[in-house]
Amino acid sequence: METIDLLEKLEDLTQMRFEFMEGRFWLKNTGEPLSQEMINYILSDKFDIHFFQQNFSDMASVNHTKIIRQLDGMFWQQLNQTEYLHYVESIQIKTKLFGSFMRPDLTIVLAQTEELSAQSVLGNPHTIVEVLSSSTEKYDRNQKKEAYQTIPSLQEYLLIAQDEHKIEQYIRDGKTNWTVKIYDSIEQTCILTVGVKIKLSKLYQDIIQ
């Protein structure tokens, strides 16, 4: 079975979100890899979805969910929908590094050049956003960032904290170089390469610190 097909099957059976990195399947919102024994169990007739969800819950925190909703609203209001499309946790991104399939929290793509397969795998993202959590921060900041930055079309990668007022904006500078801008004051505004303005005061207004 192809990796993307197995990924879809695991998601269908568990009703949870997965990513594929370094030859292993990871629960997206916990940053935990599944053992081969667990994969075999999920695919078996003995699989109990209620037991699995109770023990491997990927329920995002309230703050995580609020931040994604705020960003989704900002994108809808500010993006020119004829020029750009954006997705919220609904597509996979394939990278050459590690043969990965990852599911970003939010993704922006140029509408006229969108390369989206029948299996909802996007080949040419322009902007990728990940909201950090304590369980996934190391994973998002290291392996995923390294893999994302190998995508030729990608122009920026945002890491957004949920337990402090902070946005890290990585912007492509040439073919392989990246520059980083840090926004860590509630009075600041992060301006994306597609023109969207993210006011930290708006983004974090209902966030519990």
**Residue in 99, 124, 87 with CA at minimum distance from that of residue 6:** 99
Distance (Å, whole) CA 202 – CA 196: 13
The three-class DSSP label of residue 52 is: helix
Residues 123 and 44 in one domain: no
Confidence class for position 117, pLDDT limits 50, 70, 90: confident
Residues 91 and 158 in one domain: yes
Last residue of a domain, one of 17, 35, 55: 55
Cβ atoms of residues 9 and 16 within 8 Å: no
Confidence class for position 209, pLDDT limits 50, 70, 90: low
Distance (Å, whole) CA 119 – CA 77: 28
H/E stretch holding 182 reads: strand 177-183
pLDDT tens-digit series, residues 9-57: 999 999 888 889 888 898 887 777 889 999 999 999 999 998 888 777 6
State the pLDDT at residue 23: 86
Residues 123 and 29 in one domain: no
| Assigned domain for 209 exists | no
pLDDT tens-digit series, residues 130-162: 998 877 788 888 888 888 999 999 999 999 998
Domain that holds residue 47: 3-55
Residues 160 and 70 in one domain: yes
| Residue keyed to tokens 């926004």 | 183
Distance (Å, whole) CA 96 – CA 83: 27
Query: Can you tell me the mean pLDDT for 183-207?
Result: 94
Residues 150 and 69 in one domain: yes
Tokens (6 digits) for 155: 């122009």
The three-class DSSP label of residue 84 is: strand
